[in-house]
Amino acid sequence: MTEIKLAGQSPWIVKSVRNNWVTIVIFVALLVALAIFVPTFYQPANLLNVARQSSIVGVVAIGMTFVILTGGIDLSVGSTLALSGVTMAMLINQGMVAGVAILIALLVGVGVGIINGFIVADLKIQPFIATLATMVAITGVALRVTSGGPQPFDNAGEIFNFLGSGNVLGLPGPFLVFLIVSVIAILALRYLAFGRYLYAIGGSPEAARLTGVPTRRTLFIAYAISGLAAALAGVMTASRLGVGAPTAGGLANLDAITAVVIGGTSLMGGIGGAVGTVFGALLLAVLSNLMNLLGISPFDQQTVKGAVIVLAVLLAMQATRKRTSGRRDKRNRSEKNSDPSSK
Amino acid sequence: MTEIKLAGQSPWIVKSVRNNWVTIVIFVALLVALAIFVPTFYQPANLLNVARQSSIVGVVAIGMTFVILTGGIDLSVGSTLALSGVTMAMLINQGMVAGVAILIALLVGVGVGIINGFIVADLKIQPFIATLATMVAITGVALRVTSGGPQPFDNAGEIFNFLGSGNVLGLPGPFLVFLIVSVIAILALRYLAFGRYLYAIGGSPEAARLTGVPTRRTLFIAYAISGLAAALAGVMTASRLGVGAPTAGGLANLDAITAVVIGGTSLMGGIGGAVGTVFGALLLAVLSNLMNLLGISPFDQQTVKGAVIVLAVLLAMQATRKRTSGRRDKRNRSEKNSDPSSK
Amino acid sequence: MPRLEVRGLSKSFLGANALQDVSFKIMPGEVLALIGENGAGKSTLIRILSGAHRPDAGEVLIDGDKVDISGPRDAENLGIATVYQELSLFPELSVAENLVFGAFPGRGIIDWRAAKREAGEFLTSLDVEIDVTKRVRDLSIAEKQMLEIAKALYRRAQIVILDEPTAVLGGEDVDHLLALVQGLAKHGVSVIFVSHRLNEVFGLADNYVVLKDGRLTGTGPISQTNHDDLVSKMVGREFARSERAVNKTVGDVVLEVENLSVDGVLNSISLTVRAGEVLGIAGLRGAGRTELARAIYGVDPITAGVVRIKGLAVANGSPLKTIRAGLGLVPEERKTQGIFIAMSTAANIPMVKMLKRGLHTIHPAEERKLAETYKTKLSIKVTNLAAAVASLSGGNQQKVVLAKWLDAGVDVLILDEPTRGIDIGAKQEIYQLIRELCNQGLAIIVISSELPEVLALSNRILVLHHGDAVAELDGQTATEEQIMLHAVGGSRK
Amino acid sequence: TNASSTPGSTSVASDGPMPSIYCGDTCTKQLALAAAPADVKCDVGVSWSATSFPYGAVSSQQIPDLAKKWFPGMSVTVTDGQGDATIQSGQVDEMVAKGIKVLIISPRDSDALKGAVDRAVAAGVKVIAADRNVNTTVDTYIGSDNVEAGVVSGKNIGSVLGKTGLLVELAGSLGASPTIARGDGLRTGLTGSGVTIVDSQTADYDQAKGLAVMQDLLQKYPSGAINGVYTHNDQMAFGAIQAIKEAGRESEIQVFSIDGEDKALADIQSGSMQSTVGYPLVTKESVIAAAKLCSGEPIEKRILLESTLIDSKNVADYVGKSPQTE
Ligand SMILES: Nc1ncnc2c1ncn2[C@@H]1O[C@H](COP(=O)(O)OP(=O)(O)OP(=O)(O)O)[C@@H](O)[C@H]1O
Ligand SMILES: Nc1ncnc2c1ncn2[C@@H]1O[C@H](COP(=O)(O)OP(=O)(O)OP(=O)(O)O)[C@@H](O)[C@H]1O
Ligand SMILES: [Mg+2]
Ligand SMILES: [Mg+2]
């Protein structure tokens, strides 16, 4: 009883951390190992870099989390990032006020998300292939509107400074954006009915239908959020670099998915959350920073990265497994979690 | 009754074609439209080109079909293609006999497949993330062994001629290879117990386990076949170009998956087959050839391709739906097929 | 004024009439039993009332007003709550959340503290003891069922529809549930109650409605009917009670289980089955019957004990080895565990033989011939053997599962709930088949929650309680009451 | 061909710090190193835009190899921008934080890496822009001009094909800056020549794609409809040549390319390629420049390598000295 009481009383943030303990433990272990072997890592300038570098993929991954929780996937985020970046750059070059240009760029992302939502929820095409198609198509659009060329623009304004390279309260602006987005996502997933619908749809689509969960609307919103986050990442990228490039965001989709999965969210949907994603994105950034600091050749970095992904997912899976294991339920659970034939 | 008798008696090849009728209808419609609007298309030389161009992705897609039937996916085929190509090139440059070098290159592919099989079947990591990890890692290996440089080699031998640019019986060698591989795959899926196991694992993983289907072994073999096919495609690419490039095969994974899905194989596993994949690969090659013949701008080609993918998948899905719909089961089946929350 | 009235409801699926011109009413505080064979249209009717299906014709009135129920939300707003045959709970979410799902407390922002408190208080008020912070995944079946009902009530429903709520329950749990339903009715809630267990119907309902092939074949107060009358309305013929008919000439011991244990689930169970004999296994849900079958069969790892088939110990952990030793299992979950749902009927049948003999190739022509043979032998109703087995009805799918084992050849066959969800006609055919197999010298274990079924088929009956084998009874002399007493643990006190 | 023609670390030829043949007299003079190689001691960061294309991959490998060989006291960190300016920009910040003294950067995008380079300069790091310039003040830019390469090829095409010239273009990856520059350069170079560009398609700098796209174009343009193809790099040219040979149209279509790989030189000798424009890797030059900056020596703002047209007349001078092996 005491145990239960405890569980009942501990604030959910504590529980969240408890649920993601493996990611966090690896993370902390990594941080300690770094302190010993790569002291450079702890120089404030480097830490700020890591924070900054986690931001873009982090924001995309937070949006992706919503889609993956429904059991879907969004491969189109990279091209959405590019399209929103060039949209903003071109509008500003046409003399539009920064704020409005940014708003329109973000709406472009929402638009792509709605198209994805339509293909998935209404045309009922599997999310992988649906968003693969929009990925290809949107790249075409980004190239078309720019005639293929990068779009430099004047990113001297306050807002670009914040979104791009500036520091606020000693933290890099983009990292602050990442944190704000994360907090909103974490709260939305927990405190909004919409957030709970995502889990319902991803975990038990049939039960969701019977319970009257607005599946279609929820899917539309989830993909729109993913598109919005990708567009925000596009705006951040362009602000930072002072150029909107139609070729930006190349591997953002795979990196974001990796961050989400490392963070303990299952590609089958219904399990996971944004807290894990934050750590997943940070882990990827630390890994890459670390390999650079250690001077590992770029070729070998890829091999190492592949191995680390496997390891991290393995550990994240074990955490999820431990957390979800009830005695009686062993049979069913292991069927769901360990079914190798499901993506 | 007549109807049933007919169904029972018609040879399976007829049934296969019947099952893939939508893909075939689009395909034929496309071919007719071409005859009218793009007569160049029918020049024998162009047809041979299309055949040749479908071959590489086609071979990869046939291998991919085995994996997707189990409900899995293999993102690592592109980097496997590159690694096997450079392996062969480097071995030949070291003076190895062509046949042996090719064999070793193919074994490299099998090796990658076995690693994938291990991660999926034993470590029980979801195939998407498992093969994403190997994809990254194998790219690193290909770059490492070549120090990043393309590996030209002397591809004057008979065998390279056949695998690469030669013609046999009036057909391009690579296309012949594609056809042979396809026929083997179609027969294996139909006449080997192993083929049945793939469908069983993909369609009813639990029943498969209870019936003693060797799930682990079957998964290993499926991924090994996918790796082997990718390696064969790598050998073909290198033979054709006279160079093994560590950066080859970039989007081969996505193209191959697209071909499989357009061909009516479900990403959920258990439904589909290699006949559809052959048509899927041909459709992609025709599309790209056509767009070049029509002089569609390279920017817009991508947008068109995205739209065509959605359309083709939509039609393939409808065919599958019609074909598998039984009275009683509409309920369950539609849940399975149209469940938007599953990849 | 009736709380709910339906007039002339009809619904057909692809030309097949699932429901034809059905009308009835229900008053506040009334418990209405909805009965009928499998496929009679009960679930279809319920789905219409809960907004999952639209009727083709007819109307629904609530408190005298015509209403349009076009989705689960509408039904909820109209005060109709449904507890489905398949549970509609979210296993990954907590009890509290499942209870309040969709009716979250708080304005836009969910107030979890309130949710937990309200959920706790609400469950207590229903006399249901479940820790609200537990995840539903970790609940027992009975707890899940209770929660499912509580969920309907939580929404202040005035009409509660229960689609076979007791099918998966046993003993005390059934009593608890029935008490709950009675309590509801006392508070003025109208209850529609679907059950195949007529005893429950007589104990609970005020009135009944019988459906057969989608048509209403009888309705009236429960006090003016009896068991046999209802059954004849359901099946349209006089019901012959299944005879206790077992094979008397049993042979040698074929299956021998010694001190089999699975951690926390089974405690040192021993049993034997002889050739030509049926061993019935009875027990409440959760007693460990399925676990026992799976442990014998070798899918779940055992912690101690040994299983011998014809004297040879079989290796645990590999179904294939057990299959090769001569064992077969017809599993509980037909659709996911028994058949290969996306494969054709013809392809399904030879699967086990293929595995058992380690065959590597397939001969489609022979496969088709084989399928034709079994189609005739087991009278499987199927129009196209090359079509996905998913298109067959439940009973026919079950016959396909049996065909698989017969084709492979088995010495021991374990059938876990062989007739669950199967209608009376098909049921009898399956009983017949089991008896024939016995006569051919197979050793058979039948696990069933339906005591008449166990009694009708078994030579001996093993009763499980909480993972212990608490009694072995003679199939010829045992009674339902005896079995129940052991199953609820009564014999131990 | 054999292993010796394989680009990569094994084939770095000379023993002392020596710029390549593409570094003309001025360039060589500009890169004269006063310090003794053994005295060069500092941390150098190398940031290449990607390793997913041959130049990037080879450069990423050669620079540290050369540095190790020539300047044992120089320590080199190499990063791979993975084709993404954001990633590359972060990596620059990272290396600056790590304490490098000199940065060799080949930016993914000239505008996009401006910020990172400015931050590096502000932190006191000396910056060498290699191959592709950054749109800001750097200590030196070493490279040959992509636009210039296009112009040189364009002028040559104009004079070879003349008024009857019907040219197709196989462009590099869409949106990549060399693609844009080599396309623009071509058009500038062709001005007034009368040559018509009848079609332009992308082949992603990839040999296999060059082959496939050229095959399609050969169908679209039967004999007489085209007489030249301009490719943005040699890899695509190899594919195009193969397609042309297989179509049996070697005699009617001339191939003009950019880069100057070994195989391209061989193709020029055998007549299957009309010309290529030498586009050198700037690995040797970059390493020497880094050594100069390490030792505090002054350096010119622009060190230009030559965009030389290589055709049958001068190909012999370049054989064995392709940009990648040199
Ligand atoms: N979605 C559907 N598509 C096609 N046929 C259906 C569908 N739903 C029900 N049916 C058919 O309608 C008839 C009535 O089915 P229903 O599920 O209502 O029966 P039931 O009385 O609830 O049976 P049980 O006792 O097995 O639950 C059956 O023949 C069934 O096959
Ligand atoms: N306390 C419980 N907690 C979780 N799951 C339970 C519990 N009791 C039973 N179950 C589930 O119910 C199912 C049946 O359990 P088990 O196999 O032990 O009982 P059984 O006697 O075979 O009952 P039945 O055959 O009626 O299901 C299993 O899927 C099991 O996971
Ligand atoms: Mg029902
Ligand atoms: Mg059971």
pLDDT tens digits, one per residue of A61-93 = 999 999 999 999 999 999 999 999 999 999 999
pLDDT at B117: 97
CA C373 vs. chain centroid, Å, equals: 30
Burial A130-156 (b: 16+ CB within 10 A, else e): bbbbbbbbbbbbbbbbbebbbbbbebe
Query: Domain of C9: which CATH number?
Result: 3.40.50.300
C220 and C277 fall within a common domain: no
Residue range D311-324: average pLDDT? 83
Say whether B140 and A299 touch across the interface (CB within 8 A).
yes
User: CB under 6 Å to ligand 1: residues?
Assistant: B 327-328, 330-331; C 13-14, 16, 18, 36, 38-44, 85, 421
C241 occurs within a structural domain: no
Cα four-point dihedral sign C416, C420, C426, C427: positive
pLDDT category at B342 given cuts 50, 70, 90 is very low
Residue type, B336: K
| Percentage of residues in chain D having pLDDT higher than 70 | 94
The DSSP call for residue C5 is E
Distance from CA of D94 to the nearest CA of A (A): 6
- Give domain status of residue C243, yes or no: no
pLDDT at B320: 66
Does the interface predicted TM-score (ipTM) exceed 0.90?
no
Question: Which of B8, B212, B328 minimises the CB distance to C386?
Answer: B8
Domain covering B23-322 in this structure, CATH number: 1.10.3470
| Residues in A 271-330 with any Cβ partner in B closer than 8 A | 297-307, 309-310, 313-314, 317
Residues of C in contact with A337 (CB under 8 A): none
In 3D, which of C188, C190, C194, C228 has the Cα closest to residue C208? C194
Q: Indicate whether C226 and C333 sit together in one domain.
A: no
Number of domains in chain C: 2
Residues C230 and C258 occupy one common structural domain: no
Domain boundaries, chain B: 23-322
The C-alpha atoms of residue D253 and residue C408 are separated, in whole angstroms, by: 68
Dist. CA B335–CA C15, nearest whole Å = 21
Which chain A residue has its CA at the smallest distance from D64's CA?
A297
Which candidate from B192, B203, B204 shows the least CB-CB separation from C360? Answer: B192
Phi, psi of C324 (to 5 degrees): -65, -30
Mean pLDDT of D49-75: 87
Instruction: Place D5 in a pLDDT band, splitting at 50, 70 and 90.
Output: very low
Q: 3-state DSSP call for residue D225? A: coil
Q: How far apart are CA D289 and CA D141, in angstroms?
A: 10
Residue C360, number of CB atoms within 10 A of its CB: 10
- The interface residues of chain B toward chain A in range 165-184, judged by CB-CB distance below 8 A, are none
Tokens 């062994």 locate to B145
* The residue to which tokens 């849940």 are assigned: B335
How many CA within 13 A on the CB side of residue C233? 20
pLDDT at C180: 83
CA-based nearest distance A245→chain C, Å: 39
Residue C248 in domain: no
**pLDDT confidence bin for A206, thresholds 50/70/90:** confident
> pLDDT by residue for chain C (493 residues), tens digit each?
889 999 999 998 766 788 999 999 999 999 999 988 766 888 889 989 988 888 999 999 999 899 998 888 888 889 898 887 666 889 888 999 999 888 888 888 888 889 999 999 999 988 888 899 888 888 877 788 888 888 888 888 889 998 877 766 666 777 888 888 888 888 889 999 887 777 778 888 999 999 988 889 889 998 898 877 887 787 665 444 556 677 777 889 999 999 999 987 899 999 999 999 999 999 876 788 999 999 999 888 889 999 999 988 887 778 888 899 999 999 988 888 989 988 999 999 999 998 888 888 888 888 999 999 999 988 888 888 888 888 787 788 999 999 999 999 999 999 999 988 777 678 888 898 999 999 889 999 999 887 888 888 999 999 998 889 999 999 888 887 788 778 776 665 4
The residue whose CA has the least distance to atom 24 of ligand 1 is C38
Amino acid at A154: D
Which residues from chain D sit within 8 angstroms of residue A149, using beta carbons?
175, 180
Are C228 and C258 part of one and the same domain?
no
> Burial of B294 by CB count in 10 Å (0-12 exposed, 13-18 middle, 19+ buried)?
middle
**Are B241 and D239 inside 8 Å of each other by CB?**
yes
pTM, two decimal places:
0.86
Cβ <8 Å between A212 and C104: no
Reduced DSSP (H G I as helix, E B as strand, rest coil) percent helix, strand, coil of chain B, to 5: 75, 5, 20
Indicate the residue of B121, B134, B300 with minimum beta-carbon distance to A144.
B300
pLDDT at D144: 84
**Nearest C-alpha in C relative to B16:** C386
Which chains have 3 or more CB–CB distances shorter than 8 Å to chain D?
A: A, B
| B163 pLDDT higher than 70 | yes
CA-wise closest residue to C162 among C139, C186, C185: C185
Ligand nearest to the CA of C283: 2
**Domain enclosing residue C290, as ranges:** 253-487
- Strand C4-13 and strand C16-26: pairing? antiparallel
Minimum distance, in Å, between the CA of residue B211 and any CA atom of chain A: 15
Cα distances from C101 to residues A67, C1, C88, C148, D131, in angstroms, run: 20, 32, 11, 11, 61
The overall average pLDDT reported for chain D is: 87
Are B135 and B76 a contacting pair, CB within 8 Å? yes
Confidence of residue B22 (pLDDT cuts 50, 70, 90): low
Give the residues surrounding ligand 2 with Cβ less than 6 Å away.
Answer: A 328-329, 331; C 140-141, 283, 285-291, 332, 417, 449
